[in-house]
Chains A and B, each alone.
Chain A
Amino acid sequence: MSAETMLGGRWRLHPQVALRPERFGALAYHYGTRRLSFLKSRRLLDVVEGLERARDVDGACRAAGVEEAELSSYRRALATLAETGMIVPADAIAEGAVA
């Protein structure tokens, strides 16, 4: 599955994940899996924090000021966060599908 099809629809931060802003971007820590991830820019942090307010990931990227030419690299970063459970589809939360 490509990053783009995988990232369809509305997404959000997993409820057990905390974000800590840093000069280079942010740390994301998942209390459930004890996994630590590094967001490598402040803009990516803005994107992740804005996921829930946007219709889809591209919308969240644009709202955070990501240029069209950079969209694919942001999608890749978000796909990595999705693979490790840091972000989850928003409806999965609503349906109680996320442990």
Chain B
Amino acid sequence: MKLVDEFELGLDAPICITWELTYACNLACVHCLSSSGRRDPRELTTTEAKGVIEELERMQVFYVNIGGGEPTVRKDFWELLDHAAEHNVGVKFSTNGSRIDVDAAARLAASDYVDVQVSIDGATAAVNDAVRGPGSFDTALGALERLAAAGFQKPKISVVVTRQNAGQLDEFKAIADTYGAQLRITRLRPSGRGADVWDELHPTPEQQRSLYMWLLEHGDEVLTGDSFFHLSAYGEALPGLNLCGAGRVVCLIDPVGDVYACPFAIHEEFLAGNVREPRGFEGVWKDSELFTELRRPQSGGACGSCGHYDACRGGCMAAKFFTGLPLDGPDPECALGHGEELLAARGSDVAIPAPAVDHSRAKPSRLRPPAKVCDENPLADFIASEA
């Protein structure tokens, strides 16, 4: 059996976990996939969070991607980082850079087990700040400067590809080179507040095609979290694991301990359980109804008869769900255009699921425009090898 088929049947423990430590954030990015802003009073305590780390060690989950919210605003952030290092759980954390001062940079440079990922969503302040807020571009670059000055080796610069920055990939690469960083680019999902802006922000089909060509050329130099596997249907497969790992090889733990199938699917439909349950995270991973269901062999549904199904495997479950498309059909950004057809055919009465939780400080200022048939374009780490 091919490895990818094995993975679709699920593993004894996740390969890696995304763990959003808090819903609190000092920014209010328009596309935030966890709709973060205000802290949730039910967030895991320090003791509970340490318990999760110890459980991950027992299950041999080798690393976690920590995010939020802005994880560094948690008072016990550094304590949890140290606890993870002591328990052989490697950490990569995502940050907007606002708390990476000189001391933090020095502390990070001294640690072997921690990797840092600074987010920017534009290669210029104008493009970035329109999405992430005024001043956020300079804040991020300031953090990268301090990390470089402290001697931190190879931080990541994390970019969500949008219609506005899809033409800046070479510039992002140049910024990464300037700071001795590695570029990571990932797909925009219509998750969280991303659902409100997806129609305007997600790349056009032409941009997707250019992105695919760019990834074929630079795929070995950039990280993608394997998030563009749906583009493999253009032809040659992209580097990485080309599959949806939700509930099979990855999952999300949110700040209140809820376990979701993937970081882009914070919705009751994809909620498997909570780490506070008697059997903890392990019980949820191994026995939850949802994950058991996700690990059953998939038929491919409407995509099963497509000649490219082996390449894209139907694309991203969350992208379909939050655009109101059926889960057993094409991805909204299907390389062959089948997703566009379905999006165009959605009636204005289509029921689009709202996120399960919303910690935004204010209601999003923009409401979803109804999908219109007349829209011109009715339409977003690991290094692995096999032995």
Residue positions of A touching B, CB distance < 8 A: 18, 20-24, 27-29, 31-40, 44, 77-78, 80-81, 84, 86
Contact = CB atoms under 8 A, between A and B. Distances in A.
A88 to B, nearest CB: 15
A34 B387 contact: no
Contacts of B112: 31-32
B324 to A, nearest CB: 35
B12 interface: yes
7 contacts: A20-B60, A22-B6, A29-B63, A34-B383, A36-B382, A36-B383, A37-B387
Given A18-B60, A27-B15, A34-B115, A44 B88 contact: no
A23 B6 contact: yes
A84 B385 contact: yes
Contacts of A18: 60, 62, 88
A32 B15 CA distance: 17
B1 interface: yes
B252 to A, nearest CB: 19
Interface of B: 1, 3, 6, 9, 11-13, 15, 60, 62-63, 88, 90, 112-113, 115, 381-387
A40 B62 contact: no
A61 to B, nearest CB: 14
Contact of A36 (B11, B88, B384): B384
Nearest to A24: B6
A39 B387 contact: yes
Nearest to A16: B112
Given A23-B6, A31-B113, A37 B384 contact: yes
Contacts of A78: 387
Nearest to A35: B383
Given A23-B12, A37-B386, 11 more contacts: A23-B9, A24-B1, A29-B62, A31-B62, A31-B90, A35-B385, A36-B15, A36-B382, A38-B385, A44-B387, A86-B387
A28 B62 CA distance: 9
Nearest to B61: A20
- A-B pairs with lowest CB-CB distance, top 8: A29-B62, A24-B6, A20-B60, A80-B387, A77-B387, A36-B382, A81-B387, A38-B386
Given A24-B3, A31-B88, A40 B63 contact: no
Contact of B385 (A29, A32, A80): A80
A44 B386 CA distance: 12
A33 B382 CA distance: 10
A57 B131 CA distance: 55
Contacts of B1: 24
